[in-house]
């Protein structure tokens, strides 16, 4: 009864209910009758109409409210949460964009856990919101006052970075974006989780193979100890994440690590980067298979279908050249300025060290294996399709989409693995039908 009363008191004019359900006309009418209501907050949580619009993704109402100059885009509720935090929490990307456009501050901390909107996006796994907040940080005053990399590694009240939260909550796509944006893979928490936990400790606890794979590929240290002296392997064992433990076992084969210190790697264009990242993940998945085979765990099924799709590409594009290093894969990467070509996996083998040198942290710059000249750039090889008279980039965009999707699909506990194979099957059929049309054109006399 008390609850009913408080409801009636806090929303006697129907404003908040109308905002929640997106009834723009009622909101307008109520506010025309009493413009001061725009500053009204709910009794207990101290939510403004803007908070409610943001949390519920009511973009029309949110835009209308923001047009009013008296509305503060950073109004605070009971827990000092801003509308932007609530939009990031609920994955309301349009509202995130609109609030940032209206000048909402991305550097606000709530009073619950001392977290920012970036923490919220990472924790709840809304990679689109995460991406939008990061690109705002790149261009806004935050970049000049705080520095972008400091923002990416921003600490919550217990020392948790957004990467810690994404790893713990099994959000591999957010983990990937954060690492790609300069998140520190070896950061330790203060009091969050067990003190001294790295993102790898928290991923071991969360049990996401995809998060662990991402972190290891970024050079996360399997031997790092938390404050109680435990390595991530011990954490995975304790939480009965057996397959994760197999990868984290310090005696298992080392995964390939993305050669980020190399200048031409940091300057890769989107297509070449997606292609090489994909190759890295495939090489590491092959290693995982070997590791898991010995321990009796099976790989998630999407990795099998990925391999099949790759083989299909090879048999079709018979025009393009076979890699002269491995004689196994097709040339996909061109070294510039010399123009020599090789496959993505051989390119990686050239650039990757199994483990970055811990003392210098620098990798000696590799040279072209054919002519020994310096590598200025790596680009994607364009595959000519003669009859269609067009350049078909076989590797880049579909791969990029595929890698993003498969990251989503293979996420999940072992009990979901068989399910995740179903959407991935549809994905391959979709890709296949695209290729069929090309084949028909080629086969014409
Ligand atoms: Zn090769
Ligand atoms: Zn060369």
Beta strand extents in 42-143 (DSSP E only): none
| Gap from CA of 147 to ligand 2 centroid (Å) | 38
Contacts of 8 (CB under 8 A, 6+ apart): none
Ligand nearest to the CA of 331: 1
∠ CA 153-359-158, rounded to 5°: 25
All residues at 6 or more sequence positions from 237 whose CB lies less than 8 Å from its CB, including other chains: 245
Instruction: Tell me the two tokens of residue 39.
Output: 């500053």
CA distance 184 to 398: 29
How many CB atoms are located within 10 Å of the residue 29 CB? 13
| Rounded Cα gap, residues 26 and 31, in angstroms | 8
H/E segment holding residue 334: strand 333-336
CA–centroid distance, residue 418 to ligand 1 (Å)? 32
Give the CA distances from residue 161 to residues 148, 190, 215, 310, in Å, rounded to whole numbers and listed in that order: 14, 10, 14, 36
Residue 355 token pair:
């483990």
Say what the pLDDT of residue 183 is.
95
- Alpha-carbon separation of residue 163 from 30, 46, 73, 316 (angstroms): 43, 30, 26, 40
In the block, tokens 């002519």 appear at: 371
CA angle 369, 375, 379 (to 5 degrees): 100
Confirm if 195 and 226 have CB atoms less than 8 A apart: yes
pLDDT in tens, 48-89: 999 999 999 999 999 999 999 899 999 999 999 999 999 999
Tokens of residue 123, six digits: 């924790």
Ligand nearest to the CA of 322: 1
Q: How far is the CA of 211 from the centre of ligand 1 (A)?
A: 27
pLDDT (tens digit, 9 = 90+) per residue, 362-408? 667 889 999 999 999 999 998 655 544 444 444 444 444 444 333 33
Please report which ligand is nearest the Cα atom of 329: 1
On whether the CB atoms of residues 151 and 181 are closer than 8 A, the answer is: no
Ligand closest to the CA atom of residue 339:
2
The rounded Å distance from CA 343 to ligand 2 centre is 14
Ligand closest to 336 (CA) is: 2
Q: Can you list the pairs that 287-290 forms with residues at least 24 positions away whose Cβ atoms lie under 8 Å?
A: 287/253, 287/255, 287/256, 288/209, 288/213, 288/247, 288/255, 290/253
| CA 352 to ligand 2 centroid distance, Å | 18
Low-confidence ranges of the chain (pLDDT < 50): 1-9, 301-317, 354, 387-445
CA distance 277 to 424: 19
Q: What is the torsion angle, in degrees rounded to the nearest 10, for the CA atoms of residue 265, residue 270, residue 273 and residue 274?
A: 170
Residues 6+ apart with CB under 8 A from 400: 270, 271, 274, 278
Question: What pTM does this model have?
Answer: 0.77
Contact 98, 59 (CB under 8 A): yes
State in Å: Cα 375 to ligand 2 middle.
8
Longest dimension (CA), the chain: 82
DSSP calls for 268-314: --HHHHHHHHHHHHHHHHHHHHHHHHHHT----THHHHHHHHHHHHH
CA dihedral 433, 435, 437, 438 (to 10 degrees): 180
Q: What is the predicted pLDDT for the residue at 362?
A: 60
Ligand 2 geometric centre to CA of 7 (Å): 73
* CA of 330, nearest ligand number: 1
Distance from the CA of 332 to the center of ligand 1, in angstroms?
9
Distance 235 CA to ligand 2 centre (A): 46
Cα 128 to Cα 90, 311, 412: the distances in Å are: 12, 31, 20
Kindly give the distance from the C-alpha atom of residue 48 to the centroid of ligand 2, in angstroms, as a whole number: 62
pLDDT the model gives residue 193: 74
Instruction: Name the residue among 115, 112, 113 with its Cα closest to residue 84.
Output: 115
- Give CA separation, 196 vs 187, 199, 248, in Å: 8, 10, 17
* pLDDT given at position 210: 94
């Amino acid at each position: 009864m008390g609850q009913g009363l408080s409801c009636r008191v806090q929303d006697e004019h129907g404003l908040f209910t109308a905002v929640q359900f997106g009834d723009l006309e009622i909101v307008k009418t109520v506010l025309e009758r009493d413009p001061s209501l725009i500053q009204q907050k709910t009794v207990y949580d101290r939510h403004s109409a803007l908070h409610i619009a943001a949390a519920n993704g009511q973009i029309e109402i949110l835009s209308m409210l923001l047009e009013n100059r008296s509305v503060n885009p950073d109004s605070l509720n009971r827990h000092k949460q801003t509308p932007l935090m609530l939009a990031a929490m609920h994955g309301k990307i349009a509202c995130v964009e609109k609030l940032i456009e209206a000048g909402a501050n991305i550097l606000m901390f709530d009073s619950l856990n001392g977290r920012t909107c970036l923490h919220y996006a990472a924790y709840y796994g809304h990679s689109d919101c995460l991406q939008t907040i990061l690109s705002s940080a790149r261009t806004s005053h935050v970049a000049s006052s705080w520095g972008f990399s400091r923002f990416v590694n921003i600490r919550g009240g217990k020392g948790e970075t957004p990467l810690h939260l994404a790893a713990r909550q099994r959000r591999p796509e957010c983990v990937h974006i954060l690492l790609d944006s300069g998140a520190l893979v070896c950061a330790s928490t203060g009091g969050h989780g067990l003190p001294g936990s790295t993102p790898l400790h928290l991923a071991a606890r969360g049990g996401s193979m995809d998060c662990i794979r991402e972190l290891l590929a970024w050079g996360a240290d399997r031997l790092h100890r938390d404050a109680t002296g435990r390595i991530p392997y011990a954490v995975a064992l304790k939480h009965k994440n057996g397959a994760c433990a197999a990868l984290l076992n310090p005696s298992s084969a080392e995964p390939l690590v993305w050669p980020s210190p190399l200048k031409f790697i940091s300057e890769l264009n989107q297509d070449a980067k997606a292609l090489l990242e994909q190759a890295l993940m495939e090489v590491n998945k092959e290693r995982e298979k070997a590791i898991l085979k010995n321990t009796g765990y099976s790989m998630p099924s999407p990795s099998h279908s990925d391999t099949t799709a790759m083989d299909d590409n090879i048999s079709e594009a018979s025009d393009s050249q076979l890699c002269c290093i491995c004689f196994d894969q097709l040339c996909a990467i061109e070294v510039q300025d010399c123009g020599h070509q090789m496959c993505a996996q051989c390119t990686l083998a050239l650039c990757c060290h199994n483990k970055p040198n811990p003392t210098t942290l620098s990798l000696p710059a590799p040279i072209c294996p054919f002519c020994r000249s310096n590598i200025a750039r790596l680009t994607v090889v364009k595959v000519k399709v003669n009859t269609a008279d067009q350049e078909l980039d076989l590797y880049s965009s579909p791969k990029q989409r595929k890698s993003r999707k498969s990251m989503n699909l293979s996420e999940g506990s072992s009990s979901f693995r068989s399910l995740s194979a179903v959407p991935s099957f549809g994905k391959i059929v979709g890709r296949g039908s695209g290729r069929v049309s090309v084949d028909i054109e080629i086969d014409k006399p």
